[in-house]
Amino acid sequence: MITSSYLAAADRYERTMHGWVDAPRPDAFTLNVRVADPWVAVELVAVTLPSPAYTIQGAQGRALVGPPERLDPALGGAMRGLAGLAMTGGFTRKVAEILGARSGAQYFVDAAIEVARLARQVTRLPPERVRQAVGEGALGFWRMDLAGWAEFTDSCYTYRPESEALFRERPVATAMAPEFYAPSLGAARIFNRMKVARLERRDGRLLLAHSMFDEAHSFQIWYWVDLASGTVVDAGSLTPRLPYLGICDDPQARIGRLVGQRVDAGLRRALGGLIGGREGCAQLYDLTADLLKLLTLPASG
């Protein structure tokens, strides 16, 4: 049976995330994240090095709202323990180990994950390199992405090496901006992101919905799950803004692969092959995986 502790007292649950990036120093960014739901609100501010290091130089958490039984007030100070960590493989596990089993720790773990995601949206490249890329149009920005974030190669459909040819075969418009690659010193809010995740029980079905809006993306995804059978009976998305409109669109149709899938522990493991990976969309995968994290799922099989 699919359940969620967040729906224990009501048939509807909503969680928001607001994140933004400042550039107060020439060698580092300040990444800010706030996560909130009806009971708890937390904030994480981290000073981080850009790609490829992704090292957290300092971090401070704050418990903004939440009774002690839902949010241990010591968690905010514990986030200082993130200093020295690299936001690379194993990062989520290390954050969870630092916070331990305190009540509400997952809110700060989720905030740390969002900080790591923001770190993949801004970097520092030589200004002349950025000016040259702007003159090359969408393809110039795409090449700059692979130079600024080496791990992007083969991370999704758009960043496959063979996708470079698509820029010459079809019209491609980019939402990327020069300030993501060479922000002015002292610039504030050079990148801003808002997410809303929603669970809703209605007439024997469960709605899973997630939206994300920022300067490069506009995503709205939804899944309807039949609670009696535990399967996805409908799935859809709206994506009017994408980093490379004309290419990023292609893998969005993969969301339909989830229709008929059982929503159990096995779906978490299968998700990458269904909608992620080099033929899929990393954002579609993350938004869907984050919804599944809000559920208590039955064992697969």
pLDDT of res. 83 = 99
User: Mean pLDDT, to the nearest integer, of 282-288?
Assistant: 99
pLDDT of res. 244 = 99
Task: Give the chain's mean pLDDT.
Answer: 98
pLDDT of res. 194 = 99
Tell me how far CA of residue 118 lies from CA of 21, 33, 103, 154, in angstroms.
Answer: 7, 9, 26, 19
CB 11 within 8 A of CB 36: no
User: Mean pLDDT, to the nearest integer, of 78-96?
Assistant: 98
pLDDT of res. 284 = 99
pLDDT of res. 167 = 98
CB 287 within 8 A of CB 221: yes
pLDDT tens readout for residues 122-176: 999 999 999 999 999 999 999 999 999 989 999 999 999 999 999 999 999 999 9
User: Mean pLDDT, to the nearest integer, of 214-221?
Assistant: 98
- For the cut 90, the answer to whether the pLDDT of residue 183 exceeds it is yes
The HSE-up count of residue 265 (CA atoms within 13 Å, CB side) is 5
What percent of the chain lies above the pLDDT cut of 90? 99
* Cα 144 to Cα 34: distance, rounded to the nearest angstrom: 29
Angle between helices 127-135 and 138-148 (to 10 degrees): 150
